[in-house]
Amino acid sequence: MNVFETLTPIAVHRLNASVLKPYAQCYLDHLSARGYARLTIRQYLNCVAHFAYWANRQQISLPSIKQHINHFVTWHLPRCRCKPFAQRQRHATKAALNQLMVVMANTGIALDTDEMSAVDLQLQNFEQYLQQMKGLARTTSHRRVAIIRPLVLQLRQDTLPTPDQLRRFLREEFARISAASAGVTAAAVRSYLNFHAFKGNRIEHLLPIVGSPANWRLAANPQVLSTSEVSLLLKAFPEEMPSKLRSYAMVRCLVDLGLRSSEVISLELKDIDWINGIIHICKSKSRRVDTLPLPIETGSALANYIKSERPQSLSRLIFVRHVAPFDNPIAAGVVRRVVREAYQRAGLSHTKVHILRHTLASRLLETGGTLKDVADILRHRALDTSMIYAKIDVVRLSAVAMPWPRSQS
């Protein structure tokens, strides 16, 4: 397929007049080899042509292309006044330009680095510290890095913030988030300061600045679904729904096994022992291999998906992408989107995935299970983590409840 035969004359002109012209055919071949649909390839090429047109007008040199992608997506697209036929979809443009960077890297183009690369390197070292030295899960470390990134961007170098800079950052963050999220932000900042202490910097003058707003984590009861609501949720997968079997199997893993989103997308084909009816959770938050019984309904949902809907892929993950590139892993956001849309189809007002984990704990207690059983199934490291579910165990609470003062009982 010739790249210039697939585009409109305007897009062809824009590519021919830009520094990206030599890489247009390589880009098309790259997408074709990874199974992208023809319409998607055409859309991505138009996105690249739009970026090439803008870069040419800005007189951006080839080695510095990478530095300007974020500016183009974030600032130019919402205000774009380019000629007609310019692709302006932010998500598609970002995906298209990410693939362009892969092509350019594969062809040996040396892309300039700037201050942002120094920031990224520092954040990468911080994330490695969180995972390797502090033992945090990947999702937790990702979140803390995301919280700290604006602070590091303000500093623009590998130095500690001044007390005034730290106070201003915390004041601005706390003003826009809830008390619970403020506690997470404070923990992330303390982790970042400890990271600098690990490197030999003095942080004693900064630690007293980082305070957590009062928030009683166990004050509210966990949100749970009733038995009828769970039934409505599991029926909210109509036959005509795209990727129905994958979505249904994901939700069954959440409802029946109490898995986290990250654990669902990390399941591999080798993790299921079909003969003995067990499943191994190898990439859990606790970083240990846990073995759980595989309910018949969950196993059937997984088997139906693998046999009837899962596309051919080199990946050994159970849940794979249904659009190109097929061999890339899916993100945890796919699981969250599947659950949110299932809630909507079922007519439920909930939005969070973790409610299904709470629901499993509630169901265990209602059927005679103990808090130790809950801790084992949900794979909590400490029994104290499961104590919050004692508040929803109404049967056992009623047995130890004392009469209310001045009541007739």
Same domain, 373 and 249: yes
Backbone angles phi, psi at 273, to 5 degrees: -100, 95
pTM of the full predicted structure?
0.70
Same domain, 129 and 258: no
Q: Is residue 350 pLDDT above 80, yes or no?
A: yes
Domain that holds residue 133: 115-209
Among 209, 236, 263, residue at a domain's last position: 209
Residue 338 counted as domain residue: yes
Same domain, 58 and 86: yes
Sheet holding 278-281, edge to edge: 272-273, 278-281, 290-293
Among 209, 235, 250, residue at a domain's last position: 209
Residue 333 counted as domain residue: yes
Residue whose structure tokens are 């980082």: 210
Residue 403 counted as domain residue: no
Least confidently predicted of 36-45, 50-59, 115-124, 185-194: 115-124
Residue 95 counted as domain residue: yes
At residue 109, the pLDDT reads: 59
The CATH number of the domain holding residue 351 is 1.10.443.10
Same domain, 165 and 314: no
Each residue of 118-132: pLDDT tens digit? 777 888 899 999 988
CB atoms within 10 A of CB 389: 21
Q: Which residues of 116-148 are buried (b: 16+ CB within 10 A; e: fewer)?
A: eeebeebbeebbebbbeeeebbeebbbbbbebb
Residue 160 counted as domain residue: yes
To the nearest whole number, what is the mean pLDDT of the chain? 85
Same domain, 30 and 55: yes
Q: Which residues pair with 280 in a beta bridge?
A: 291
Each residue of 226-275: pLDDT tens digit? 999 999 999 999 999 999 999 999 999 999 999 999 899 999 999 999 99
Say how many domains are in the chain: 3
Same domain, 126 and 97: no
Same domain, 201 and 299: no
Whole-number Cα distances in Å, 108 to 94, 99, 102, 128: 21, 15, 10, 28
